[in-house]
């Protein structure tokens, strides 16, 4: 009787072990298709699907995604095309190159300005401020017009032929300055639709740095705010345009007009230039009149 009990006990234990192993096997088989997936080893980044020139507004066909190992993913890359569509690139982007945050940075084009110039163009720098440079908001890739204004009577005198018998001052005849009180201001668009290939904010002056410094022994910051600060704008110009801009810098006042990105292929517009005479004759501006009063 005791042997029978032992045999039954052993058989029961054996069956329990078999049942336990079976349950484990069944559980593993049931979860084989729904278990925790393996950790991903790659991730997507946004890359250029074609060459994207400086100043281009990115559209959906211009970009795509590319899978790269997670360990090789650039920290400044974008994961979704939607994050870059509608933005203007501030440097050239080659097909297959990844789109980075620096692609849209003002300083992106300064890596190598010469590579951004088309054949026949040269880089010319001009200095503007918040008034003459659209609030120093001009960025690489933008397109601008250059406007000349002159209002210095000494540099832009109004002269007429002198009366007969006057000793000539040159080989071509004699001239005399007429009323120096006459308005000598003249304004004209000289260069149109040229591209900006770089911008630089000059270092702050000593006075600006002192104004921005901290009290209590702190150090002055490396840069000042844009309020009142000048900006250097680098333009891509032909040789003739460079001559016009240089004259503007020396004998006149230069201003930049920021154009729409849609004006890339717009033709030049013929302008009249403006003087006080034209304001009165063509635009209905009322000229000032002399006011006579009786002195007490």
> pLDDT tens across 96-155, in order?
999 999 899 887 767 788 888 999 999 999 999 989 999 888 999 999 999 999 887 666
**Residue 96 located in a structural domain:** yes
Q: Which domain holds residue 73?
A: 42-105
Instruction: Give dist(CA 124, CA 143) in Å, integer.
Output: 14
85 sits in the region (left: phi over 0; alpha: psi -120 to 50; else beta) called beta
Percent of the chain with pLDDT over 70: 74
Q: Report helix, strand or coil for 69.
A: strand
Query: Which of 4-13, 184-193, 285-294 has the highest mean predicted lDDT (pLDDT)?
Result: 184-193
Q: What's this model's pTM, rounded to 2 decimal places?
A: 0.68
**Closest C-alpha to 63, from 19, 93, 27, 22:** 93
By mean pLDDT, which of 94-98, 213-217, 283-287 is the weakest?
Answer: 213-217
Are residues 95 and 234 both part of a single domain?
no
**Residue 15 located in a structural domain:** no
Instruction: Give dist(CA 83, CA 104) in Å, integer.
Output: 12
Q: Which of 105, 123, 142 is the last residue of a domain?
A: 105
Cα dihedral 33, 38, 42, 44 sign: positive
Structure tokens at 77: 């890359």
- Overall number of domains in the chain: 2
**Closest C-alpha to 204, from 224, 218, 219, 231:** 224
Q: Which of 105, 135, 157 is the last residue of a domain?
A: 105
pLDDT tens digit sequence for 224-239: 344 467 899 999 999 9
Beta carbons within 8 Å of 119's beta carbon, 6+ residues apart: none
**Residue 23 located in a structural domain:** no
């Amino acid at each position: 009787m005791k042997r029978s009990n032992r045999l039954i006990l052993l058989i029961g234990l054996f069956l329990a072990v078999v049942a336990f192993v079976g349950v484990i096997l069944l559980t593993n088989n049931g979860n084989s298709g729904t278990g925790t997936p393996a950790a991903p080893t790659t991730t997507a980044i946004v890359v250029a699907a074609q060459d994207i020139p400086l100043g281009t507004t990115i559209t959906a066909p211009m970009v795509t995604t590319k899978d790269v190992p997670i360990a090789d993913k650039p920290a400044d890359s974008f994961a979704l095309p939607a994050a870059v569509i509608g933005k203007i690139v501030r440097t050239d982007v080659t097909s297959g190159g990844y789109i980075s945050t620096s692609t849209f940075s003002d300083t992106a084009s300064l890596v190598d300005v010469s590579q951004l110039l088309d054949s026949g163009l040269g880089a010319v720098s001009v200095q503007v401020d918040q008034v003459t440079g659209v609030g120093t908001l001009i960025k690489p890739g933008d397109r601008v017009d250059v406007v000349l204004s002159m209002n210095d009577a000494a540099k832009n005198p109004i002269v007429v032929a002198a009366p007969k018998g006057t000793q000539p001052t040159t080989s071509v005849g004699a001239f005399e300055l007429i009323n120096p009180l006459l308005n000598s201001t003249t304004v004209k668009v000289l260069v149109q639709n040229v591209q900006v290939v770089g911008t630089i904010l000059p270092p702050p002056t000593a006075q600006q740095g002192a104004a921005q410094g901290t009290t209590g022994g702190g150090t002055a910051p490396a840069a000042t705010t844009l309020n009142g600060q000048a900006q250097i704008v680098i333009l891509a110009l032909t040789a003739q345009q460079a001559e016009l801009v240089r004259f503007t810098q020396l004998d006149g006042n230069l201003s930049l007009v920021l154009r729409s990105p849609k004006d890339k292929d717009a033709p030049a517009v013929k302008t009249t230039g403006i003087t006080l005479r034209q304001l009165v004759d063509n635009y209905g501006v009322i000229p000032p009149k002399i006011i006579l009063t009786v002195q007490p």
